[in-house]
Amino acid sequence: MRLFTAIDLPAEVLLRLERLLAALRSEALIKWSPLDNLHITTKFIGEWQERRLDELDAALAGVGPREPFSLELKDLGWFPNERSPRVLWAGVHGGQWLEELARATEERLVPLGIPREERAFSPHLTLARIKSPVPLGRLKQRVRDMQPAALGTFQVTRFTLYRSDPGSNASIYHRLREYRLASAMAAS
Ligand code: 2AM
């Protein structure tokens, strides 16, 4: 199975994203992410054997303890760039704590044989994928007009282990386990 860890979004942020996507979707015929699929990946694990799930679970449970931290969603942009885009994203600003969570997750998984990412951690929400050349002028202009697209700030108190299954249109993500950041647990 194909796995990754991610931060989920609270209901009020999803509501803003729903409105944003409703405004953008009609501007271009590209592969828009279903609302349910939106998440912030902290570590892409890749293929993993089901019989080794407990091992992975134990490693992820050891990622804490750490403070819950605040994360801001704003700015829209294109990967790799606006001229030849493959992904439309919403920006994720979590400062050093988000970086640190991603780094700690990665380090915990190295002893299990899961390699470190070669590319720098670049937190984002994938709003749409561009798989084939289609007219994007209207969408690009709309995205420019919407900047800085403030989508909200929220506290990160946990992260989730996901399984990604291929779907006919978009991948289907299943929540497997949740991991609370330790101080959040102490506070509740
Ligand atoms: P993306 O949305 O930018 O494609 C499941 O595929 C999740 O893991 C997605 O959020 C995806 O990010 C992320 N991911 C990171 N590295 C990946 C890789 N090498 N292959 C597939 N997905 C990856």
Tens digits of per-residue pLDDT, 129-166?
999 999 999 999 999 999 999 999 999 999 999 999 99
Q: Ligand 1 atom 8: the closest Cα is on which residue? A: 44
Q: Quick check: 174 and 187 in contact, CB under 8 A?
A: no
Model confidence pLDDT, tens digit, residues 52-100: 999 999 999 999 777 889 999 999 999 999 999 999 999 999 989 999 9
Distance in Å, CA 186 to ligand 1 centroid: 32
Distance in Å, CA 44 to ligand 1 centroid: 6
pLDDT(188) > 60: no
Domains plus CATH for the chain?
2-182 (3.90.1140.10)
Global confidence as pTM = 0.93
Distance CA 72, CA 40 (A): 12
Q: Quick check: 170 and 33 in contact, CB under 8 A?
A: yes
89 lines ligand 1 (CB under 6 A): no
What pLDDT is attached to residue 169? 84
37 lines ligand 1 (CB under 6 A): no
